[in-house]
Amino acid sequence: MFELNYILQKLAIISPLGQKKLNNLDFITDKEMISKELNKIEETITFINSFPDNVEKIKLNLMYIKDITNILERLKNGYILDDIELFELKYFAYYYEKIRKHVELSFLDKPSLEKVFQILDPDNEKLPTFYIYDSYSNELREIRKKRKKSSEEEKELLYQKELEIEEKLREEITNKISNHIEKIEKAINDVSELDFVLAKSFLALQKGFVKPEFSDNIEYESLFNPVIKDKLIEENKDFQPIDIKLFNGVTLLTGANMTGKTVILKTIALSQYLFQYGFYVPAKKAKIKPISKVFLISGDYQSTLNGLSSYAAEMVKLNEILEYIKEKNNVLILLDELARNTNPHEGKLIVKAVIEILKNHNSISLITTHFNNVADENIRKLRIKGIRKDKLKDNIIPENINDIIDYSLIEEKEEIVPEEALTIAKLLKVDNNLIQIIERLKKEENSNE
């Protein structure tokens, strides 16, 4: 999903451990686990606002953090670490300790790696460097001294002896470090968590996201699409957030072309994904129901499902949804102008049939359509207000046509599919001859009814 990738790419993750956390992101369905993730962001935002200097120091030291999970695995499996691995472990412990001293977040374990660092720093140099120090063994120190004054033949013998002692010392050092495996693992997890939650918290602050509450429905106040908002801000244009409530069953959404039906569906999908990945969401206020899966059918699938037409690909996706809900409830289903690519008569029947199936299902479905009379009176209906009539006298050009659209939603008792396509065509300065022919045909059609 483009919008989700856009947001994830905006995360200012610093370390490879934080990036690994992002790469293994889980869609969380458990309410308590989602709540836990959201609370972490809330606490971290408070920390960011209260201790900005500490946060800058943490971010600076995260830049030096490397992924040592392979070294940890080798330790767990009883391997003797080589000099490079011991160096990387010391390097990690050095910068981890700098980070740990500046962090005040309750969800981190914050184990001390000072003893690990001391094992790797026998001369107390307090530097992130490593070699097999003379301090580890008097015998080693004496051999190294002797080698400097020995003959070439004797040097070679001493060198072999030195290698034997060094290998024995590596084993001893590794064994000592192995006593701290649990702390090292917790420290790795802490850095991974800290980097990731800092990125999520800064994202929430920068984008104006909000902590959602839990609900049995889906309800947004001032929901916005961050991709479009960013683009409009770049162009010095205003954006219009919307309010929307969705309940179990089907809601039908209508609106003229260019009034943002597709954007609404994609924004709701994005927000649901963010919520269940443990992020804040793009709204002023949000109450969200955790669901088991999000289904969004929107756009041309021809390029993604090779060998199938747009219509056939759409039907394959639709069938996937219908098969899924036979087994599971509590799904969010978002269908954007279903069956738009087939003939209108059969397309309308398809939409009616889908509504009939979904209306009694324990899931939340939002369906946009241009077809008239597809839903009975029990189906909830929303309409995008559309073109502001009072703005039609303004100087409208294709570049500013969005400025005359009112994207807010109103609830309708009757099923009303707006017929504003001709008005929009006129505003877009479409060929006048074509417009006149359409208007004539429309009059003829109306007179024949």
pLDDT digits (tens, 9 = 90+) for 307-356: 667 788 888 889 999 999 988 889 999 999 888 878 888 888 999 999 99
| pLDDT at residue 216, rounded to an integer | 94
Distance of CA 265 to CAs 42, 60, 358, 436, 446, Å?
A: 27, 39, 17, 34, 33
More reliable by pLDDT, 376 or 352: 352
Residue 39 is predicted with a pLDDT of 98
pLDDT at site 403: 75
Q: How confident is the model at residue 306 (pLDDT cuts 50, 70, 90)?
A: low
Between these two residues, 378 and 105, which has the higher pLDDT value? Answer: 105
Report d(CA 224, CA 243) in Å as an integer.
9
Q: What stretch of H or E contains 367? A: strand 364-368
pLDDT class of 421 with cuts at 50, 70, 90: confident
Span 26-39, average pLDDT: 97
Cα-based torsion angle of the residue sequence 397, 403, 408, 414 in order, rounded to the nearest 10 degrees = -20
What pLDDT does residue 285 have?
97
Given this model, what pLDDT does residue 313 score?
A: 84
- Who wins on pLDDT, 112 or 391? 112
Strand order in the sheet with 285-288: 213-214, 285-288, 218-223, 242-246
Residue 86 has pLDDT above 90, yes or no: yes
Helix (H) or strand (E) holding 385: strand 380-387
- Per DSSP, what are the bridge partners of residue 223? 242
Q: pLDDT tier at 416 (50, 70, 90 boundaries)?
A: low
Looking at residue 300, its pLDDT comes to 57
Average pLDDT of the residues in 242-260: 89
**36 φ/ψ angles, rounded to the nearest 5 degrees:** -60, -45
Predicted pLDDT at 393: 63
Nearest CA-CA partner of 223 in 290, 254, 269? 269
Q: Is residue 231 within 8 Å of residue 364, measured between CB atoms?
A: no
Task: Give the pLDDT of residue 355.
Answer: 93
User: Average pLDDT of 30-45?
Assistant: 98
Residues above pLDDT 90, as percent of the chain: 66
> What average pLDDT does the structure give for the chain?
90
Work out the average pLDDT over 402-431. Answer: 76
pLDDT at position 415 is: 65
Average pLDDT over residues 382-387: 86
CB-CB neighbours of 50 under 10 Å: 10
Report whether pLDDT(43) > 70: yes
Longest dimension (CA), the chain: 115
Distances 306 to 28, 298, 310, 338 between C-alpha atoms, Å? 31, 17, 10, 20
Question: What is the distance between the alpha carbons of residues 411 and 402, in angstroms, rounded to a whole number?
Answer: 22
| pLDDT bucket at 446, cuts 50 / 70 / 90 | confident
Give the model's confidence band at 48: pLDDT under 50 very low, under 70 low, under 90 confident, else very high: very high
pLDDT for 449 equals 62
Query: What is the band of 377 on the pLDDT scale with cuts at 50, 70, 90?
Result: confident
pLDDT computed for residue 275 by the predictor: 98
Q: Is 64 helix (H, G, I), strand (E, B) or coil?
A: coil
- The tokens describing 348, both together, are 């309308």
d(CA 1, CA 267): 11
Using the CB atoms, write b or e for 167-187: b if 16+ within 10 Å: eebbeebbeebeebeebbbeb
Cα–Cα distance for residue pair 182/161, rounded to 1 Å: 34
Note the pTM of the prediction, 2 decimals.
0.89
Lowest mean pLDDT among 64-73, 238-247, 270-279: 238-247
Looking at residue 303, what is its pLDDT?
A: 53
- Tell me how far apart the alpha carbons of residues 189 and 107 are, in angstroms, rounded to a whole number: 11
Task: Give 31's pLDDT tier (boundaries 50, 70, 90).
Answer: very high
Identify the pLDDT of residue 426: 74
Over residues 157-174, the pLDDT tens digits come to: 999 999 999 999 999 999
pLDDT beyond 70 at 305 = no
Q: Which pLDDT score, from 0 to 100, does residue 419 have?
A: 65
Of 87-91, 325-329, 390-394, 441-445, give the lowest mean pLDDT range: 390-394
